[in-house]
Amino acid sequence: MSTLAIDYDDVVAAHRRLEGIAHWTPALRSATADARTGATLHFKAEHLQRVGAFKFRGGYNAINQFDTRQKAAGVIAFSSGNHAQAIALSARLHGIRAVIVMPEDAPAIKIAATRGYGAEVVLYDRYTQDREALGRELAESQGLTLIPPFDHPHVMAGQGTVAEELFDDVGELDTLIVPLGGGGLLSGCATVARARYPNCRIIGVEPEAGNDAQRSLASGKIVSIDTPRTIADGAQTQALGTLTFPVLQAHVDEIVTVSDAELVDAMGFMAVRMKQFVEPTGCLAAAAAFSGRVAIDERRVGIILSGGNVDWIRFAELISSSQGGT
Ligand SMILES: *Cc1c(COP(=O)(O)O)cnc(C)c1O
């Protein structure tokens, strides 16, 4: 028996739970992208997923496995990002209560979106209040179940369904390139790739400003860093999880980093050439392919576009400074 938090069967089971509920997002092609890299690229379009990011898969898979008592009390999550909306919508689809703890200076649009899915938003002051303590207190006093954004077996298995669909659609790949924050998406996708195509090279991509995962895999223990300054706000994690790390150690071949400038260039390419609205974090894998940080010449490559939630004015400001996808 495996000592890892998840194996391939867990992902297959998650995919069955998500059937008819999560979108089976398309795998996009671009002749221009192929010409630019000399590879055959398949872009898995998770920015077109419900709530605009793959996190819906993990959130739904976790809540779907709640027992009667957990369903009666509800779910709690801390997040100002895509996980908040994923939990809020998943709870609503199950008819259960969701409490989302967010910093009071989170973008108003994100607070409104989370409330729009029917969640109760509890705001805290990130400078004076301890989020963990507040969450624990709420969870204990009200019997709520905490679902973390990546370090949970049901979340990791749910995220792996992204790769399951991609392989079903396009078959064997030489290389799979995946955005990386806390490692939920990469651990799930790596589990699938290793089981289905043992020779597929599995690569995680994190922001250059926060290469904690690269250092963790190199040193064999989880390295923690200060919150990195990067436009990839979905990957500003300080450390891998205790469940995700061993899965990455077992299956991942390499971690590479990309700069914010490379992310902006990839966003511009996605928008102008491929007509796709992808958030900075969602472009991590594409940026690694376009910038040559990963050797992909002549190879069949899967690239995960992980999300599309970015304020459109900010999006326009960022891509107006890029080359527009040359
Ligand atoms: C959360 C997130 C990531 C990182 O996922 P992890 O499971 O934390 O590694 C990447 N892209 C987007 C759009 C995200 O929301």
What pLDDT, in 10s, does the model give residues 184-220?
Answer: 999 999 999 999 999 999 999 999 999 999 999 999 9
Is it the case that residue 326 has pLDDT exceeding 60?
no
The two three-digit tokens of residue 50, written as one number: 């419900």
Q: Which of 180, 211, 258, 276 has most ligand 1 atoms within 8 Å of its beta carbon, as the pocket-test mutant?
A: 180
Share of the chain above pLDDT 70, in %: 98
pLDDT, tens digit (0-9, with 9 covering 90-100), for 106-156:
878 888 999 999 999 999 988 888 888 888 899 999 999 999 999 999 999
The two three-digit tokens of residue 160, written as one number: 């792996």
Q: Where are the alpha helices (DSSP H) in the chain?
A: 8-18, 31-37, 55-63, 68-73, 82-94, 108-116, 131-142, 153-170, 184-196, 212-219, 244-251, 260-272, 284-290, 312-320
CA angle 276, 34, 31 (to 5 degrees): 65
Sheet containing strand 120-124, edge to edge, reads 120-124, 98-103, 75-78, 145-146
Is it the case that residue 2 has pLDDT exceeding 80?
no
Is it the case that residue 325 has pLDDT exceeding 70?
no
Is it the case that residue 253 has pLDDT exceeding 70?
yes
Within its chain, how far is the Cα of 5 from the centroid?
Answer: 18
Average pLDDT over residues 2-30: 97
Name the pairing type of β-strands 75-78 and 145-146: parallel
Average pLDDT over residues 178-186: 98
Q: Is the shortest distance between the CB of 59 and ligand 1 below 6 Å?
A: no
The pTM of the full predicted model, rounded to 2 decimals, is 0.96
The two three-digit tokens of residue 283, written as one number: 């472009």
Average pLDDT over residues 241-267: 98
Domains, in order of start, for the chain: 8-53+152-319 (3.40.50.1100), 56-146 (3.40.50.1100)
CA distance 175 to 177: 7
The two three-digit tokens of residue 294, written as one number: 């990963």
Name the residue at shortest CA distance from atom 2 of ligand 1: 234
CA distance 232 to 264: 10
The two three-digit tokens of residue 207, written as one number: 């922001």
Predicted local distance difference test score (pLDDT) of residue 324: 52
CA distance 168 to 101: 37
Q: Is the shortest distance between the CB of 281 and ligand 1 below 6 Å?
A: yes
Residue entry with tokens 């511009």: 268
Q: How many CB atoms lie within 10 A of CB 203?
A: 25
Is it the case that residue 270 has pLDDT exceeding 90?
yes
The two three-digit tokens of residue 102, written as one number: 């967010």
Average pLDDT over residues 84-101: 97
Q: Is the shortest distance between the CB of 46 and ligand 1 below 6 Å?
A: no
pLDDT, tens digit (0-9, with 9 covering 90-100), for 5-14:
999 999 999 9
Say if residues 303 and 43 touch (Cβ distance below 8 Å). Answer: yes
